[in-house]
Structure 1
Amino acid sequence: MVSVKHTVAVEPVPYPWLADAVTVIRTLVEESRADEQGLVLPDGQVARDIRLTRGRHLLPGSVYVIEDEADDGKAKADTDGSGEDKKAVDARDTVQITVREWDHRRAVRLELAVAEDDMTIELDGTLKSPDRPAEVEITGRTQGGAAPRTLFDMAGRARVRLDDWWPAADTGRASASAPASARLDHRWIRADARAVPRPSRDDGRWDIHVIVSLRGRRLLRPVAAVLLAFAALGIRRSLVRTLDGLAAQWNDRVPHLVAMNADQLREALLSSQRGENDRRTTGPPGTD
């Protein structure tokens, strides 16, 4: 088994801001409507890359499809004089979202199915008590791939108990178990991760203590143990670099978001869609 312990310092997020942000996003979605053009936002903008394909807006069983419009998947004109049209190199990626529950008092639960080449990714995400976010849980699996299936078939689960996270992060009050945990199961290896926040002694940041462990599974456990022992140093260095990189990105972006109030956040979300619509209208820089 390989075990890695590492601590990162990150900018804090006040719980009231999180609750407001969830309400802003939920309200924007609820105030939108779906028609043949796409998803019509409250200010009249149309998000054309997402379409309701089954059911009624936000009712359980409704299905939405998001398509990547970077490549339309159609045959391209001949550019090399060979007389043959060229097929698009990359197939369009699609995401299917199914609403399983939408109740701002109880829970919001969505299922996502991502089709990418010959690989599929299935996720099931639940936010409990959206009006007062209490817990986030995500389960998922991947299947397929051009390489042998055993390389890509995995299942995982992640959970953050928000009711335990903030008391631990702001006051240092410990809970019976780590408020954030995740597990990833592959045929050969199992990875477990736990995260426990504490208030920093030096500044207003959170110190997040992370423990990641890797171990072999089933009949391959002895073989995996040997391989992990040889690769332990490289694995530790890679995980530490990854955690430090994620913390750096968090610290670069989160303070700007947390500085926004609910109205400013709502306007920022709508403005980002305006920018996307303008880009589609005018085309990328350098095009006529």
Structure 2
Amino acid sequence: MARFDHTVAVVPVDRAWFEECASLVLDAAESTQVRGGRIVLGGGDGPPVPGARLLKGRHLRPGARYKIGPDADEAADASGIPSDQVVVVTVREWRRSTAIAVEQLVKSADLTVLLAARLLSPDRPGALNVRFDLRNPGGGSLQRVSGRAKVALPAWWAAAAARPGSLPPARAPLTARAKHRLGRARLTVTPRPAAEGAWEIGVTLTVRGRSLLRPVAALALFFGQVPLRRAFRSGVDQAAARWNEALGSEPLPDPDALRAELRKALSG
């Protein structure tokens, strides 16, 4: 088994701002309608969402299935999806008072990705559970990774607002597990308050081999720990840098201003 730990400081996000923006996104989604299979904004009078079509079911109801990608009558990059990819999104649940669950299937010549996400109490986001499966269609079991991740948002906010010097939570608010034929990996992420209002994020990655292949994996980890540790820390540092660049370069937009801008856009 190998264990890697790293800590970074990042720009914090206000809980009220986050929850209001989440509600704004859901409001925007629920303001869309279907016209001739196309998803349109502004209650049906606005412009179409590029590349989005309803294939089956009722819009934003369980069983609704959508295709996301460029259409023949659009520019190839209008939807932001490469022309050789097929993206299908399926709604499993849509109840803002309890849960929203969607699945996304992405297929290309050398990769198939299935993501299933379920958000509890969307109007005041609770736990977000994600299941994933990545595989090369022609690569066999050695080119497949699957796993699960969970973010307990109330626990995250509580840990981020804890008093300085307090003990970390018994369970990390963000956990992820991945499984491969050669081994398993577990990732935990825990925030805590730092100087000048920042968040100090502790990240831990644990990797171990599986069953009969465990000795082989253990040997590879033994000789590869130093480059793996460097790669792990570099990856965490880069993720923190991108977060700080996105959120720290200027003040976060006011949710009321965002809502007014969205209403203007939806009105055409």
TM-score range relative to shorter protein: 0.7 to 0.9
* Corresponding residue SS for 1:28: helix
Question: Are 1:35 and 1:52, in contact at CA under 8 Å, matched by a contact in 2?
Answer: no
> Structure 1 counterpart of 2:3, which letter?
S
Kindly tell me: are residues 258 and 265 of structure 1, through their superposed partners in 2, closer, same or farther at Cα, counting changes over 3 Å? farther
Question: Is 2:61 aligned against 1:59?
Answer: yes
Question: Are 2:70 and 2:83, in contact at CA under 8 Å, matched by a contact in 1?
Answer: no
Per-residue deviation at 1:34? 1.8
> Structure 2 counterpart of 1:64, which letter?
Y
Q: Partners in 2 of 1:107 and 1:15 — Cα distance?
A: 19
Provide TM-score, normalisation by structure 1. Answer: 0.82
Aligned equivalent of 1:98, options 90, 112, 115: 90
Question: Is 2:123 aligned against 1:131?
Answer: yes
Q: Partners in 2 of 1:224 and 1:23 — Cα distance?
A: 45
Q: Partners in 2 of 1:160 and 1:63 — Cα distance?
A: 26
Match for residue 246 of structure 1?
Answer: 239
45-54 or 148-157: which moved more? 148-157
Kindly tell me: are residues 165 and 98 of structure 1, through their superposed partners in 2, closer, same or farther at Cα, counting changes over 3 Å? same
> Structure 2 counterpart of 1:100, which letter?
R
Q: Partners in 2 of 1:169 and 1:45 — Cα distance?
A: 40
Deviations 1:230-285 (A, max 9, x none): 11000000010110000000001124686212233346668999xxxxxxxxxxxx
Per-residue deviation at 1:183? 0.6
Match for residue 197 of structure 1?
Answer: 191
Provide TM-score, normalisation by structure 2. Answer: 0.87
Deviations 1:63-104 (A, max 9, x none): 0110146759xxxxxxxxxxxxxxxxx852121111010111
136-145 or 225-234: which moved more? 136-145
> Structure 2 counterpart of 1:107, which letter?
A
Match for residue 182 of structure 1?
Answer: 176
RMSD, matched Cα: 2.3
Q: Of the two, which has the highest radius of gyration?
A: 1
Kindly tell me: are residues 247 and 139 of structure 1, through their superposed partners in 2, closer, same or farther at Cα, counting changes over 3 Å? same
Aligned equivalent of 1:121, options 113, 122, 147: 113
Q: How many residues in Structure 1 have an aligned counterpart in Structure 2?
A: 254
Which residues of structure 1 form unaligned runs of 5+?
73-89, 274-288
